[in-house]
Amino acid sequence: MNLASLLLDVSQRLPHHPAITDRGRTRTYSEFSERSSRIAGSLRAMGLSRGDRIALCMENCGEFLECLFACWTAGLCAVPINAKLHAREVEHIATDSGARVLITTPGLVNTLAPLAESVEVLKAVICTQADAYERLARGDAIAPVPAEPTDRAWLFYTSGTTGRPKGAILSHRNLLFMSHAYYADIDALDHDDVKLHTGPLSHASGLYALPHMLKGGHQVVLPGFEVGAIADALEQYRNVTMFAAPTMLTRLVHSPAATRFRVENLKTIYYGGGPMYVADLERALSIFGPRLYQIYGQGESPMTITGLDKALHAHPRGPDDFRTCGVPRSGVGVRVVDEQDRDLPPGEVGEVITRSDCMMEGYWNNPKASAETLRGGWLHTGDLGSLDEQKYLTLRDRSKDMIISGGSNIYPREIEEVLLRHPDLVEVSVVGRPHAEWGEEVVAFVVAQPGTNVDPDALDTLCLDHIARFKRPKAYRFVESLPKNNYGKVLKTELRAYLQNEQEKG
């Protein structure tokens, strides 16, 4: 069950096939496997024991993947960390996980090197493209250690928008199930496939490197999300699959460079990690055609709860289909329940819960949060949604984002969808503001196209044409941009804090 053993099988079958291209350099599967095995041997020679954690806080680069498989070869658990986090956030994750070694990259090493002193159990901070790292890659190679399916492989820290991030424990079984679900639901893969990485390898892009690598696919790593570089890659490669968060997909379809995309070389864009609004999705389909697959998952069940497939993107059952996030993935149970975990009838809104072999073991060193989230043997997502008669899931909002005004539940996403019908609006985020009489009232933060002047009365009219009057925003705040975390998710906590401060100042 060791994922590194499966990679070794690929390298023996396709030794001369390109594995990774990065910074103009390509390594074959034979070269990649050998370097991973040597790094694994060096890590064990440093005194690390089976199950120890290795933090990988790295800018996008091919070394991330060779370190990931080196960890598994050595029987260690990887702790991928988003490179955009502040050094203090990285310090918390390294401390909480008990990481013994932190591997980083040239652009981050100056800020992260002091962690070798401040994190008690951290033995070393090692930087790629430096002598210390290359010495790791010249160590004595070792074979993948035997692993149980439940051995810990990836410690996935949540984005932490409402507090300190928690580490979801993912096993080899979890990641292999995730990969099998990819083959079952999204695409059949082989050595002719290319996985283009433009988002952080520490998250959605890197997770789906696994099903591609286990089939001998070619990983092409870009340093970040840049529309022109994506267009260039589509000129050079065929059968390309890439991840796009909704904000990334929106940037793609609004970019002038979209006109030169070689769409025929694009196989799949899988997207998720936040709400994808209907207007943006329709525009994406007009450019890319039926090459989109929507993912709904969480770090606690990586990439694998429900999916909206390419066929339904191309031929929706009706206008509401684009508001759904699809049906349960292969082998995944999904329910919508009330506060006592009782199943709700179709159409009623409750908490989304899920169970599968992709479900985490629990949270690292946090038994209380683990027990609460996994009560009854089901992962409680904290998301509000409803299932229809055919088991299509429609997400409403996170439970903490729901607005209760005058005793009525108001789901911000419904209002956001309506407001984004306005041609001059780029982004919208709706939150609740405390109100003495009604409990909360609706406020919309909106980002308009540069050079445009959007009339609030026109937005009111748009809302009144599509939703009940009580849901209409009572105020609009025009802003240049919405606050987002390092994963591109809008920080509604900051928007609510802004309104609170505004009220306190009178």
The pLDDT value given to residue 412: 85
325-372, pLDDT tens digit by residue? 999 999 999 999 999 999 999 999 999 999 999 999 999 999 999 999
Choice among 35-39, 221-225, 249-253 with the minimum mean pLDDT: 249-253
Confidence band of 161 (pLDDT split at 50, 70, 90): very low
The pLDDT value given to residue 63: 98
pTM: 0.83
The mean pLDDT value of the chain amounts to 92
CA-to-CA distance for 118 and 95, rounded, in angstroms?
A: 9
Percent of the chain beyond pLDDT 70? 96
219: pLDDT strictly greater than 60: yes
CA-to-CA distance for 110 and 456, rounded, in angstroms?
A: 47
Q: Highest mean pLDDT range out of 37-41, 280-284, 451-455?
A: 37-41
Percent of the chain beyond pLDDT 90? 74
Residue 282's region, left for phi above 0, alpha for psi from -120 to 50, else beta, is: alpha
The CB-side HSE value for 155 (13 A sphere, CA atoms) comes to 26
Confidence band of 162 (pLDDT split at 50, 70, 90): very low
170: pLDDT strictly greater than 80: yes
Label residue 30 exposed, middle or buried (CB < 10 Å: 0-12, 13-18, 19+). middle
- Residues contacting 482, CB < 8 A, separation 6+: 427, 429, 445, 447, 490, 491, 495
Residue showing tokens 């450019």: 287
Q: Which position has the higher pLDDT, 403 or 10?
A: 10
Cβ(390)–Cβ(327) below 8 Å: yes
CA-to-CA distance for 403 and 398, rounded, in angstroms?
A: 11
Label residue 315 exposed, middle or buried (CB < 10 Å: 0-12, 13-18, 19+). exposed
CA angle (403 as vertex; 401, 404 as ends), nearest 5: 140
SS (H, E, C) 460-485: HHHHHCCCCHHHCCCEEEECCCCCEC
SS3 of the chain: helix, strand, coil, percent, to 5: 35, 25, 40
260-316, pLDDT tens digit by residue? 899 999 999 999 876 677 888 888 999 999 999 999 999 999 999 999 999 988 888
Question: Tokens representing 95?
Answer: 């401390």
Please compute the mean of the pLDDT values over residues 194-216 and round it to a whole number: 96
CA-to-CA distance for 55 and 98, rounded, in angstroms?
A: 9
Confidence band of 500 (pLDDT split at 50, 70, 90): confident
